[in-house]
């Protein structure tokens, strides 16, 4: 992945998730999933979220 594509730059630790799911989810459900994913990635792999 180009480290400068659509951003000011990314580190070598950059991870991109694109989640496809069957039915549409509310904004609240999406935010909860994102928060849980970020928390787990940081706790278990030491990957800090980019906010």
**pLDDT digit string, tens, across residues 31-44:** 999 999 999 999 99
Whether 17 is covered by a domain: the verdict is no
Residues 6+ apart with CB under 8 A from 11: 3
Whether 4 is covered by a domain: the verdict is no
**pLDDT tens, residue by residue, 4-38:** 777 766 777 777 788 888 889 999 999 999 999 99
Of residues 23 and 51, more confidently modeled: 23
Domain count within the chain:
1
Closest CA to 16 of 1, 32, 31: 1
Phi-psi map region of 46: left, alpha, beta (phi>0 left; psi -120 to 50 alpha): left
Whether 11 is covered by a domain: the verdict is no
Whether 2 is covered by a domain: the verdict is no
Whether 30 is covered by a domain: the verdict is yes
Whether 20 is covered by a domain: the verdict is no
Range of the domain at 37: 25-50
Whether 19 is covered by a domain: the verdict is no
Name the token pair of 2: 């180009």
């Amino acid at each position: 992945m180009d480290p400068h594509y659509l951003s000011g730059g990314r580190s070598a630790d950059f991870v991109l998730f694109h989640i496809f799911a069957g039915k549409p989810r509310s904004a609240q459900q999406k935010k909860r999933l994102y928060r849980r994913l970020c928390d787990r990635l940081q706790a278990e792999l030491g990957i800090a979220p980019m906010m």
